[in-house]
Structure formats: structure tokens, C-alpha cells
């Protein structure tokens, strides 16, 4: 731990409206607990900010004391970048305001909001912003990494719907950035992660969605996976933007619409969300129902906010998680063969592999319009290693890495930055492709000494 004086800590407490935790404090261990149980880091100090003034003070304190600095929004990032050892954590989880202007279709969102918090506020007006698929994810981390989910084919990435943001930079200044103000910083935070500052307010463009959508699950025996995935890739070409279908391979959880003897058996599931007129839902999803003979299906109208939370039980906090990811232009036969082999050797009943369908509106934005560059990705593949006991780390990680390596020949070479583990420094340039050098230039301007480095780090040119 760094040698922080009692006077320095007391001065920080006195200047902070929120809470300050150090290792001997009650609540410290809870404050350093995040979603991925593999992450066990001990910060020197955690500042749970109550507002922008606290954020500015914490940034200045970290810079002046030469402390490593991390930022925590929802604490959901797979790499555990919400925490750092022997440094300062800016904990934004208490900053949860989400104000909606329904007439202008705008939402003004603080960085501690989870997806469910924002959905709750905007759905009260029948509005939504494209977010992820796990409602306990933080809006801030999702957004600055790009953000995609059920609405992205229709309305774009989360960053495509960001209108402006307030950012505390490395010198402790608060900047409002948009297409007209500090446009280079605005460009960079739309996919460049937490490399450029602390976002204290997001302004999102909202779209009419729901309050009900049509969708659900079609679950097939895994021995039908090859044929079903081939039918899926063919059907994708004619799917409207209002329809999003993800494919998930794993052992069947105890879903109420599945017979008890199916629970725990290998399956391929197609998760469906259709945001067009409800009366058109059955017709829109009919092709998916023909991918094979299902174990069971559960389809119909449902509240959009409920569908956003449907997968939360499979992604609850407290488990050990390790991910590997590829962006894909297509589901090639060799990729499907590798999937079949991998599901045959699952190291844990919680492990899964999914293909998240994007394309649509996400692909109609220029690669250099935002820092997020992977506009040619039609699917984001995630190898989701998940288990309970530390004794299983080696074999579960090895399984995830093996499938990742086996599928490299069928991938684009790019990667979604929010799905990267901390060990993947060599892939950071892959995450940004042609935009990487422009991001370095923005880093040079706003954080030349790399204060914001506990992330998938874009190093300034002076430290590269």
C-alpha cells in the first residue's frame, strides 16, 4: 500500500460529500467487491462520489498523490478494471439520477445507473435507448465501450445514440463535449473506454419502444445445432432491423417451459426480440420456429423491461468469469463445427458460447464516425467461461482459450473492447483498428501522463 498520511485521508474525507473507504473501515470489503469473483484487489482508498465535485476532488487527489486510478460504475467489466491494487477507486455507484425529457426524447443519465435503472425511467414514457442484455450492467462502462443489445439492429450502438457528455479530465476540469464542443473528446469516449476521463453525465437520444415487445426463446436439442445454425445464418439476410435473434449454446437451465428431463442437457437456444407491431410478431419470428424440432419454446408479447432482465439469473454476481471474444462477419461451417466440439467438452454447467447478432443500423455508420470501429461485424461471439470454485480456474480458462484459438480463422480479427480480459493488451489496437492512432492523439491532448490507465489502455505517445 502507498504511504498515505492520516492527514491526507482526513483532508480527502473533509472535501468529499460522499463516502471515503480505506482498508480498516467497515464497508471497505463490500466496496471492493465487484461482479466477477475472480477479481480480488485491494485499493488504498475508495471514494464513493455523491456528485461532480467529489469526482473532481478524487481525480485531483489521485494525480497529486501519484496513485493508480480506477473507475467503478456498475462494476460489471469482465477484466475487473473497476478496481486497482494500492490506488484510488472513483466509485460512481451512488450517482444514479436518470432524468427524462419525453417531449425532446432525451435522457440525462449519471454514471452510477445500471441498465435496469435507465430502462425503468424511460419505459415509463414508452421510450428506450439501445443498451446491453444484462440489466445489472452499468450504463457508463457499457456506453464508453460501444454498447449493443436487442435494439441495436434498429437504432444503432449505444454510442450512436449519445448526444453529449460531461467529462472530468485528468487535470480535474469538467468539460461538456458534443459534436460542437470538444468534438475530439466526444468522438473518443464513444467507444474508447475510460481512457480519457470520468463521464459524469450522459445525454442519450431516445426512441419509441414498447412498453411491450414480441419475443422469447426457442430451445432445440444440441444435436440439431449444425442444421439450425445454418438455417439461422441464411435467415439473417432477410431479417428486418426490428428483429434481433441471438444464438446461445450451453446446458439447458431449469426454464419453466422445458420438461424436467431436458434440464442440464446440451441445447442451442435462439433468443428473440421483435420491436415492430405486436400483431406482426408471430409472423416475424416464424422462420426461427422452423430451425428445428424444439425441446420447447416460450414466445409472445412481454414488457420490454422484463425481457431486458430475462437473462439476469444466468449472470448473477459472485461467480468466477473468464471471457474470450471474436467479431464475425458470418457463421462459417468450420466455426459451427468448432462450436459442436466445444459444447461436447463443457468444463462447467454455467459455461456458454453465444453469437450476438448486430448488423442492421450498426453497420450503416462509418467506421471512423465514432471510436467504436467494428461496423462490419454481423455477430459478436463471446466464449463465456463461468464457474464457482477457484479449483476449476485452470480447466475452465483453458477451455475458453482453446475455443477462441480454434475459431480465429473464421473471425474478422477485431474485438469488442468490453469483452476483453485484462491479459489481452496485445489486442487493444485490434479493438480500434483504423481509429487507433487518432485515439492516441486524443489521449495525448487530454491525458498525456496516462492517469486513466486502469482499463484497456490506449497509451499516450510519450509513454508507449
> Which helix H or strand E contains 299, and what residues bound it?
strand 296-303
> CA–CA separation, 433 vs 450, rounded Å?
21
Sign of CA pseudo-dihedral 351, 357, 363, 369 = negative
For the chain, the straight-line distance linking the first and the last C-alpha, in angstroms and rounded, comes to: 26
CB distance 425 to 457 below 8 Å = yes
- For residue 462, pLDDT over 90 is answered with no
∠ at Cα 172 (171, 178), nearest 5°? 95
Q: Can you tell me whether residue 376 is helix, strand or coil?
A: coil
User: Which domains can be identified in the chain, with CATH numbers?
Assistant: 7-91 (3.30.43.10), 98-209 (3.30.465.10), 212-419 (3.40.462.20)
Rounded distance between C-alpha atoms, residue 300 and residue 243, angstroms: 14
Model pTM?
0.96
Neighbours of 127 (CB within 10 A): 23
Cell of 312: 439476469
CA dihedral 418, 209, 353, 38 (to 10 degrees): 40
Q: C-alpha grid cell for residue 220?
A: 432445440
Per-residue b or e along 419-432, where b marks 16 or more CB atoms closer than 10 Å to that residue's CB:
bbbeebeebbebbb
pLDDT > 90 fraction of the chain, expressed in percent and rounded: 97
Beta-strand relationship, 379-387 and 352-357: antiparallel
Going by C-alpha positions, the residue among 450, 340, 417 that lies closest to residue 144 is: 417
Confidence of residue 252 (pLDDT cuts 50, 70, 90): very high
| 144/109 Cα distance (integer angstroms) | 13
Residue 198 has pLDDT above 80, yes or no: yes
pLDDT tens sequence across 425-458: 899 999 999 999 999 999 999 999 999 999 999 9
pLDDT for 464 equals 54
Closest C-alpha to 382, from 400, 360, 358: 400
Rounded to the nearest 10 degrees, the angle between the axes of helix 281-289 and helix 225-236 is 140
pLDDT per residue as tens digits for the range 34-92: 999 999 999 999 999 999 999 999 999 999 999 999 999 999 999 999 999 999 999 99
The pLDDT of 405-422, averaged and rounded, is 96
DSSP string of 405-455, one letter each residue: HHTGGGS-S---GGG--TT-GGGHHHHHGGGHHHHHHHHHHH-TT-S--SS
Question: What is the 3-state composition of the chain as percent helix, strand, coil, each rounded to the nearest 5?
Answer: 35, 25, 45
pLDDT digits 0-9 by tens, 344-389: 999 999 999 999 999 999 999 999 999 999 999 999 999 999 999 9
Other CB atoms within 10 Å distance of the CB of residue 390: 10
Residue 3: predicted pLDDT = 78
What 8-state DSSP symbol labels residue 223? G
Containing H/E element for 183?
helix 183-189
Q: What DSSP string describes 232-295?
A: HHHHHTT--TTEEEEEEEEEPP--TTS-GGGTTSEEEEEEEEE-S-GGGHHHHHHHHHTSS--S
Contact predicate 81/425, CB 8 Å = no
pLDDT tens column, 276-313: 999 999 999 999 999 999 999 999 999 999 999 999 99
232 HSE (CA, 13 A, CB side)? 30
CA distance 74 to 263: 31
pLDDT one-digit tens code per residue, 323-354: 999 999 999 999 999 999 999 999 999 999 99
Residue 46 has a CB neighbour count (10 Å cut-off) of 24
What was the pLDDT predicted at 1?
Answer: 61
In whole numbers, what is the pLDDT of the chain averaged over residues?
A: 97
The whole-number average pLDDT for the span 402-408 is: 97
Amino acid at each position: 500500500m502507498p504511504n498515505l498520511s492520516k492527514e491526507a485521508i482526513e483532508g480527502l474525507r473533509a472535501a468529499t460529500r460522499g463516502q471515503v473507504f480505506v482498508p480498516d473501515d467497515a464497508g471497505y470489503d463490500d466496496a471492493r467487491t465487484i461482479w466477477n469473483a475472480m477479481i480480488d484487489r485491494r485499493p488504498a482508498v475508495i471514494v464513493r462520489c455523491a456528485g461532480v465535485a467529489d469526482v473532481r476532488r478524487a481525480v485531483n487527489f489521485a494525480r497529486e498523490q501519484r496513485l493508480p486510478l480506477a473507475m467503478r460504475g456498475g462494476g460489471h467489466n469482465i477484466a475487473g478494471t473497476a478496481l486497482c491494487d494500492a490506488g484510488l477507486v472513483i466509485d460512481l455507484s451512488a450517482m444514479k439520477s436518470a432524468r427524462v425529457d419525453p417531449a425532446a426524447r432525451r435522457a440525462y443519465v449519471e454514471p452510477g445507473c445500471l441498465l435496469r435503472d435507465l430502462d425503468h425511467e424511460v419505459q415509463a414514457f414508452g421510450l428506450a435507448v439501445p443498451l446491453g442484455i444484462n440489466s445489472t450492467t452499468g450504463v457508463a462502462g457499457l456506453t464508453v465501450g460501444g454498447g449493443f443489445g436487442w435494439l441495436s439492429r434498429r437504432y444503432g450502438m449505444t454510442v450512436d445514440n449519445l448526444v453529449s457528455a460531461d467529462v472530468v479530465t485528468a487535470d480535474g476540469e469538467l468539460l461538456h463535449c458534443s459534436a460542437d464542443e470538444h468534438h475530439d473528446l466526444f468522438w473518443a469516449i464513444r467507444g474508447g473506454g475510460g481512457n480519457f476521463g470520468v463521464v459524469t453525465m450522459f445525454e442519450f437520444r431516445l426512441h419509441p419502444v414498447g412498453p411491450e415487445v414480441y419475443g422469447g426463446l426457442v430451445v432445440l436439442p444440441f444435436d440439431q445445432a449444425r442444421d439450425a445454425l445454418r438455417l439461422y445464418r441464411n435467415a439473417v439476410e432477410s431479417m428486418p432491423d426490428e428483429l434481433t435473434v441471438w444464438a446461445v449454446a450451453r446446458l439447458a437451465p431449469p426454464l419453466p417451459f422445458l420438461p424436467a428431463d431436458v434440464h442440464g442437457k446440451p441445447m442451442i437456444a435462439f433468443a428473440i426480440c421483435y420491436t415492430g407491431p405486436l400483431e406482426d410478431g408471430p409472423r416475424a419470428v416464424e422462420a426461427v420456429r422452423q430451425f428445428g424440432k424444439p425441446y420447447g419454446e416460450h414466445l409472445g408479447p412481454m414488457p420490454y423491461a422484463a425481457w431486458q432482465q430475462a437473462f439476469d439469473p444466468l449472470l448473477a454476481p459472485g461467480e468466477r468469469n473468464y471471457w474470450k471474444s471474436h467479431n464475425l462477419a458470418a457463421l462459417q461451417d468450420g466455426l459451427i463445427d468448432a462450436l459442436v466440439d466445444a459444447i461436447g467438452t463443457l468444463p462447467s454447467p454455467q459455461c456458454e458460447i453465444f453469437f450476438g447478432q448486430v448488423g442492421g443500423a450498426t453497420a450503416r455508420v462509418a467506421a471512423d464516425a465514432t471510436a467504436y470501429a467494428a461496423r462490419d461485424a454481423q455477430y459478436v461471439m463471446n466464449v463465456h467461461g463461468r464457474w464457482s470454485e477457484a479449483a476449476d480456474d485452470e480447466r475452465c480458462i483453458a477451455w475458453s482459450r482453446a475455443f477462441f484459438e480454434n475459431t480465429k480463422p473464421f473471425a474478422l480479427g477485431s474485438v469488442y473492447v468490453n469483452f476483453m480480459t485484462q491479459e489481452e493488451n496485445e489486442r487493444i489496437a485490434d479493438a480500434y483498428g483504423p481509429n487507433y492512432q487518432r485515439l492516441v492523439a486524443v489521449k495525448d491532448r487530454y491525458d498525456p501522463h496516462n492517469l486513466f490507465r486502469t482499463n484497456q489502455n490506449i497509451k499516450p505517445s510519450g509513454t508507449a
